[in-house]
Amino acid sequence: MKILKVFMLLLMCIVTSNSASASDFVWGPYRGMSTGVGISEKDVIDFSKTGGNLLRVGFSQQPLMSKDDPYGFNEAAFSKLNQIVSWCRKYHVKVIIDPHTTPGTQRTTTTLPNDVLWQDTKYHDLLNTLWARIAKDYANNNDVIVGYDLLNEPSGKLLSLQTGAANYNQLAKRLIKTIRTYDSETPIIIEPPVGRDASGNWVNRLEGVNFLPVLEDSRIIVSPHMYEPRAFTHQGVKNFETGIQYPGVIDGKYWDKDALRRALQPVRDWQIKNHAVVYIGEFSASSASGEGGTRYLRDLIDLFEEYGWSWSYHAWRSAPVWDAERISADQVQAQITPNAKTETRLELLKEVFTRNIPVAN
């Protein structure tokens, strides 16, 4: 009997040890929003008053590195980043640095499969130089900076057959190695790619986790973006039609909370298998989605919370069509003064933000 007890005690120690080693890296929980370089100190103050504890700061409007030859650093953008970091430190808001757009990409909001970034490794060199600068400048600032987001929304043509400049995993590993040369502590955020597999099947940003490399670094965060189904979340944006309801049939499929759970399942499975830290860096529904959009967001947030994922809503005072403070698409189209009223969407976010641990002033 004593031998059995000793055996059970040893077994418990082994299990506890393995569990601890798999989950030593604790990050968050963070509940916040993404934002842009154009925010002011007042915007940071107002955000802190919502109860959000994280801003993912993107530089789509003012790139940190010029996208044109000779591809120099944009010192004005770095100066603004310094300001934002200082404001966030002052008002107890954490920061993720997200360059968002880089040399070799056509758009400022995402990458495309035919970007020259995926055709010529000189653009990998430029991105590597940018991250070396960021890591050198912002190392030892972990009281406020809690993540480096390597590349916003990577894409590929055939994910299983990428070689050379098209190999996103190779690029990610290189960037991680460079960052760690200068900064051993700041967590690094890697986003799953979107594209087609070897059979030509479409792989969305949630399913893309299965095409990520095995990474040795213990302080890695995996960060899918969630805009499924796009016909609903993007209605009123560019050429997307409006009037689509949630819950309801969207593109021939019924979407409700159960459907959202199924859409997120690849990430959940990957998280459990790899003991991963997951952060949904962007999710939203356009202002044209109305009250259905608010129901959609509530269902998504419920699932994020159930799975223990950190998240940031897109966006805080940087893109009117996604702004949680807007009431309707009519306001956006009429260019009514932003932030004049509060809609139920912001109230939803503020309600969930109460779960964040308050920071004493």
What gap in Å lies between CA 232 and CA 240, rounded to an integer?
Answer: 9
Burial 56-95 (b: 16+ CB within 10 A, else e): bbbbbebbbbebeeebeebeebbebbeebbebbbebebbb
Q: What is the pLDDT of residue 7?
A: 34
pLDDT in the model for residue 339: 52
Other Cβ atoms within 10 Å of 251 Cβ, number: 10
The H or E element spanning position 183 is: none
Per-residue pLDDT tens listing for the chain (361 residues): 444 333 333 333 323 233 333 458 899 999 999 999 999 999 999 999 999 999 999 999 999 999 999 999 999 999 999 999 999 999 999 999 999 999 999 999 999 999 999 999 999 999 999 999 999 999 999 999 999 999 999 998 889 888 999 999 999 999 999 999 999 999 999 999 999 998 999 999 999 999 998 888 999 999 999 999 999 999 999 889 999 999 999 999 999 999 999 999 999 999 999 999 999 999 999 999 999 999 999 999 999 999 999 999 999 999 999 999 875 444 444 444 455 454 579 999 999 999 998 654 4
Question: Cβ of 130: how many Cβ atoms within 10 Å?
Answer: 20
Interatomic CA distance for residues 190 and 169, integer angstroms: 10
Residues paired with 196 in a beta bridge: 158, 202
- Quickly count: other Cβ atoms within 10 Å of residue 188's Cβ: 21
Please indicate, yes or no, whether the overall pTM of this predicted structure exceeds 0.85.
yes
Supply the Cα-derived Rg of the chain in whole angstroms. 21
Q: β-strands 310-316, 277-280: how paired?
A: parallel
Neighbours of 180 (CB within 10 A): 15
Tell me which H or E stretch contains 146: strand 145-149
**141 is written with which tokens?**
């600032």
E-assigned strand segments in 25-143: 31-36, 54-58, 94-98
HSE toward the beta carbon, residue 186, CA cutoff 13 A = 33
The reported pLDDT for the residue numbered 338 is 53
Q: Which pLDDT value is given to residue 357?
A: 82
Q: What is the pLDDT of residue 214?
A: 85
